[in-house]
Amino acid sequence: MLTGWIGEWLNLLLRWAHLVIGAAWIGASFYFNWLNQHVRPPEGGAVAGLKGELWAVHGGAFYRVHKIDGAPEQLPSTLHWFKYEAYFTWVTGVLLLAATYWANARAYMLDTSSTALSPAAAVGVGVATLVVGWVVYDGLCRTLARRPTALALVGFAATTVLAWGLSQVLSDRAAYIHVGAMLGTCMAANVFFVIIPGQRAMVDAMVKGEAADVARGEAGALRSLHNNYLTFPVLFIMVSNHYPVTWGHPYNWALLAAISLFAIAIRHWQNLRGRGEDQRWLLAVGVLGILATAGVSRWPSAAVSLPAADGGDAVSMVEVQQIVARRCLTCHATRPTFEGLPEAPKGLVLESPEDIRRVAAQIHAQTIATQVMPLGNVTQMTEEERARLGQWLEATLAR
Ligand code: HEC
């Protein structure tokens, strides 16, 4: 594991690269979707060989795009392909996953409910999720190619079962991010193994004046459609990694399924609208559904939370320090004793009363509201301790 500031910088640069390249991939895919939905027959009447055209103004210049019917008479000397965005989004994503999770498996991939696994086994589960996920998905696409709705339902159910299964063996956060990484892997692999080779075969056939292989074209179209619908859920999963209110929830796999479904509804509304069908109810269902999910997500975690702290006997700073020393200082100390941690995570040291007071709100968010700290509860904080700490935090924060 790369430690210290070099490690931090590498991680930051990797994250930045992943974000920028991912934005380029998604931007290009959104743009081509939009383009396809907005090309119209040429204004002056039909033109042989032209399927449609579109005018746009951007950055002080006019652009005129032609959509060709079939293949052009002659291939231009430069033909742009869009693929490297997908490949490098995946490469940077896997490196980031490896640097953040696989290299720190003990701290990031395990929790008390999953201590049956060794850190190496947890990494194995993570890697297998990506590989097996793609193999199974690819197989399903081939067997159910003629039944796209059944395929979508099976895919959704399988992903939800995977999310549940992972949450049983890995830490909640690792389970969540690996579902996202598996879906992202399928998207990039779709481009690499199916869409681009199919497109290449089509270009070759057309240049030779032969008919393109219809089956390959259809397979590519199906994978593109999947990528289109997966964009929203995958982005949600990636971003929510920074929000314990999602993955820290006891039913995080169900939350993930619900949010994905509603995000897909919004995407479906967008797609239909592009075809001239404005089914606004889909948008309403998507937005209200996500809001409802956010609302409902408070409920079970509040229910499993603390035994009522009896207001009578106030919690002292000394008691708080004892709890923090027992349950947090293995990691949040100037010199952590937790194996593999060279320094306090995020530089958060909780050694003195001042340290604790200063970040009381953060501690409340992580330890009481969502209970994601202690990480994976590896230090086995008890309900009683959590209640006492919570009582002190609430009193302190109310002041
Ligand atoms: C096994 C190690 C470990 C233990 C034990 C642990 N933490 Fe953490 N803590 C972490 C790691 C790792 C992070 C960084 C998570 C991330 O990258 O978002 C973190 C992050 C935090 C943060 C968020 C800091 C920020 O800037 O985002 C708070 C607050 C926190 N811990 C409080 C606690 C408290 C309070 C306890 C004890 C009740 C505790 N932690 C126990 C490892 C631990």
What pLDDT, in 10s, does the model give residues 195-228? Answer: 999 999 988 888 888 877 888 888 998 999 899 9
Q: What is the pLDDT of residue 304?
A: 44
Split at pLDDT 50, 70, 90, the class of 1 is very low
pLDDT of residue 305: 47
Inter-helix orientation angle 214-240/196-207, to 10°: 150
Mutational pocket test of ligand 1: of 331, 349, 351, 392, the residue with most ligand atoms within 8 Å of the beta carbon = 331
| Residue labelled with tokens 């199906």 | 222
The pTM assigned to this predicted structure is: 0.78
**Segment holding 52, helix H or strand E:** strand 50-58
State the CB neighbour count (10 A cutoff) for residue 363: 27
- Give pLDDT, residue 375: 85
| Bigger pLDDT: 296 vs 169 | 169
Residue ranges covered by each domain of the chain = 4-38+84-301, 317-398
Give the end-to-end CA distance of the chain in Å, rounded to a whole number. Answer: 42
Nearest to 53 by CA among 35, 30, 33, 71: 35
Most confident of 132-141, 171-180, 322-331, 386-395: 132-141
Nearest-angstrom CA–CA distance, 347 and 38: 50
Using CA atoms, how far apart are residues 366 and 369, in angstroms rounded to an integer? 6
Q: How far is the CA of 304 from the centre of ligand 1 (A)?
A: 21
**Of 378, 337, 344, 373, nearest in space to 3 by CA:** 344
Asked if the model's pLDDT at residue 240 lies above 50, the reply is yes
Condensed to tens digits (0 to 9), the pLDDT of residues 306-329 reads 555 555 568 889 899 999 999 999
Q: Which residues line ligand 1 (CB under 6 A)?
A: 107, 324, 327-328, 330-332, 338, 345-346, 348, 359, 362-363, 366-367, 373-375, 378-379, 381
CA of 116 to the centre of ligand 1 (A): 22
Spatial separation of the C-alpha atoms in residues 50 and 63, rounded to whole Å: 16
On whether the CB atoms of residues 230 and 183 are closer than 8 A, the answer is yes
